[in-house]
C-alpha cells in the first residue's frame, strides 16, 4: 500500500507510520464489554428506581376485596342512580356530566357514539346470560322485569338503604336487615357470584371484534363504585394529587404533563363558582381550551409585534451564551 506525501511523492505504509506508537486493539471485545456493562447498569437501576408492578384492577378483584361496595354499585346501576346512568354523551342521552364553555358544546356536537345502558349492560343482560341451569335466577329476573316501575323503585330504594348497614354472612354473601326487597337480594347475590368468578369481566368485554380490547364498560362500572377511586386516592393518582402525571406509588410518571394538571390545582378551574364561565364543573373542557390557546400563541410568537421583541428587551440568551459572544468580540478585535 502506498500513500502520497505533501509533495506528491509516494510513501509506503511502513515508513508513513514509523515512529507512531501503536497497540493491538480488539474492537469486538471492547464493544462486548461495553454492552454487558450497560446491561448490568440498566438492570440494577431498574430494580432500584422502577415503579412497582401493581396488578390490574378487575371486577373480580373488586368483588372479592369489597363485596358490599360492589353490590351497592350494582344496585345503583339497576336503579339508574349512578354517574354513568345519567352521564350524557358519548355514553347516553343524559346530562349529568355534560361540559360546555360559552358557545362550545363539544359533547353535544359529537353526540352518543359509545352507547351504554348501565341498567341493561351492567346488570340485567349479564344476569340473563347466566340463567342457564339456574331456574331461581330466571324466576327472579322475570319477577323483577314484570313489576311496575314504582314497585321496582321501592325495592331498590329499600335495599340500597339497607346496604348502608350490610355485612358479610358465613357464606361470604351480603346480609342486610329484613325487609320487602322483592327479587333484588337474589339478583344481587348472583351478581356477586358472577363478579367473583370473573365471568362479569368477560361478559362486559364482549364485542363484535376478534380481539377483546375495549375496556370501556368494565371501567365505567368500576368507576361508579368507591373501590377504584379509593385505590387512586391511596396511590396519589387523583386529579387533586397531580395524578395525571404520576405513576403508582411515589414515582413520577409523565412529567411533561405538569402544565396540563397544574390548571386543575388553581382557581377558577378548581372552584365551584369560577370566573368567565370556567369552574370545576367544566374544568376538563376549560383546560383543553386553555392549552389550545397557549399552543396557538406559542406558534404565533414570531408574528406578534411586541411579544416577539421580548428577547431583545430581556436578553437572557446573551447571559447563557456569554462565552460565545465574548469570543466573537475577541475575533472582531484581533488583526487578520
Which residue range is the domain that position 184 belongs to?
59-229
* 212 and 318 housed in the same domain: no
User: Do residue 221 and residue 277 come from a single domain?
Assistant: no
Asked whether residue 71 falls in the same domain as residue 146, the answer is yes
243 and 158 share a domain?
no
Residue 115 sits in the same domain as residue 206: yes
Same domain, 68 and 119: yes
Q: What is the mean pLDDT of residues 218-237?
A: 93
3-state secondary structure the chain: CEEECCCCCEEEHHHHCCCCCCCCCCHHHHHHHHHHHHHHHHHHHHHHHCCCCCCCCCHHHHHHHCHHHHHHHHHHHHHCCCCHHHCCCCCCCCCCCCCCECCECHHHHHCCCCCCCHHHHHHHHHHHCCCCCCHHHHHHHHHHHHCCHHHHHHHHHHHHHHHCCCEECCCCCEECCCCCCCCHHHHHHHHHHHHHHCHHHHHHHCCCCCCCCCCHHHHHHHHCCCHHHHHHHHCCCCHHHCHHHECCCCCECCHHHHHHHHHCCCCCCCCCCCECCECHHHHHHHHHHHHHHHHHHHHCHHHCCCCCCHHHHCCHHHHHCHHHHHHHHHHHHCCC
- Do residue 292 and residue 318 come from a single domain? no
Tens digits of residue pLDDT in 165-180? 999 998 889 999 999 9
Is the pTM of the predicted complex or chain greater than 0.85?
no
Q: With 70 as the cut, is the pLDDT of residue 43 above it? A: yes
**41 falls within a domain:** no
Q: Higher confidence at residue 62 or residue 4?
A: 62
Query: For position 168, what pLDDT does the model report?
Result: 92
User: Same domain, yes or no, for 147 and 221?
Assistant: yes
In a domain, 247, yes or no: yes
Where among 176, 196, 229 does a domain terminate?
229
- 141 has pLDDT over 70: yes
Taking only the tens place, the pLDDT of each residue in 1-22 is 555 555 555 667 777 777 777 7
Judge if 209 and 246 occupy the same domain.
no
Same domain for 196 and 81? yes
Tell which of 175, 201, 229 closes a domain: 229
User: Tens of pLDDT along 236-276?
Assistant: 888 888 888 888 876 777 888 889 999 999 999 999 988 99
Model confidence at 336, pLDDT cuts 50, 70, 90, reads low
Is the domain of 108 the same as that of 138? yes
Amino acid at each position: 500500500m502506498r500513500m502520497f506525501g505533501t509533495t506528491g511523492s509516494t510513501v509506503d505504509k511502513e515508513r508513513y507510520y514509523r515512529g507512531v506508537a501503536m497497540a493491538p486493539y480488539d474492537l469486538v471485545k471492547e464493544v462486548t464489554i461495553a454492552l454487558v456493562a450497560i446491561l448490568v447498569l440498566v438492570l440494577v437501576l431498574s430494580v432500584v428506581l422502577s415503579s412497582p408492578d401493581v396488578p390490574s384492577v378487575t371486577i373480580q378483584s373488586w368483588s372479592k376485596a369489597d363485596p358490599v361496595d360492589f353490590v351497592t354499585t350494582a344496585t345503583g346501576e339497576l336503579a339508574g342512580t349512578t354517574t354513568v346512568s345519567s352521564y350524557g354523551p358519548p355514553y347516553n342521552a343524559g346530562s349529568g356530566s355534560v361540559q360546555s364553555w360559552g358557545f362550545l358544546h363539544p359533547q353535544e356536537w359529537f353526540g352518543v357514539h359509545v352507547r351504554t345502558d348501565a341498567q341493561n349492560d351492567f346488570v340485567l343482560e349479564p344476569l340473563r346470560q347466566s340463567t342457564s341451569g339456574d331456574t331461581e335466577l330466571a324466576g327472579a329476573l322475570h319477577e323483577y322485569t314484570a313489576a311496575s316501575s314504582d314497585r321496582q323503585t321501592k325495592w331498590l330504594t329499600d335495599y340500597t338503604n339497607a346496604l348502608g348497614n350490610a355485612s358479610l354472612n358465613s357464606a361470604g354473601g351480603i346480609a342486610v336487615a329484613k325487609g320487602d326487597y322483592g327479587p333484588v337480594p337474589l339478583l344481587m347475590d348472583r351478581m356477586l357470584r358472577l363478579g367473583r368468578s370473573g365471568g362479569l369481566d368477560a361478559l362486559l368485554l364482549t364485542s363484535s371484534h376478534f380481539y377483546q380490547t375495549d375496556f370501556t364498560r368494565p371501567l365505567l362500572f368500576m368507576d361508579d363504585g368507591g373501590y377504584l377511586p379509593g385505590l387512586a386516592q391511596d396511590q396519589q393518582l387523583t386529579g387533586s394529587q397531580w395524578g395525571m402525571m404520576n405513576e403508582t406509588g411515589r414515582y413520577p410518571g409523565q412529567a411533561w404533563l405538569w402544565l396540563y394538571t397544574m390548571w386543575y390545582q388553581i382557581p377558577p378551574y378548581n372552584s365551584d363558582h369560577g370566573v368567565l364561565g370556567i369552574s370545576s364543573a367544566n374544568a376538563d373542557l376549560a383546560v383543553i381550551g386553555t392549552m389550545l390557546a397557549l399552543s396557538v400563541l406559542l406558534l404565533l410568537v414570531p408574528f406578534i409585534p411586541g411579544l416577539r421583541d421580548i428577547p431583545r428587551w430581556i436578553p437572557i440568551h446573551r447571559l447563557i451564551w456569554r462565552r460565545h459572544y465574548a469570543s466573537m468580540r475577541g475575533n472582531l478585535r484581533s488583526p487578520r
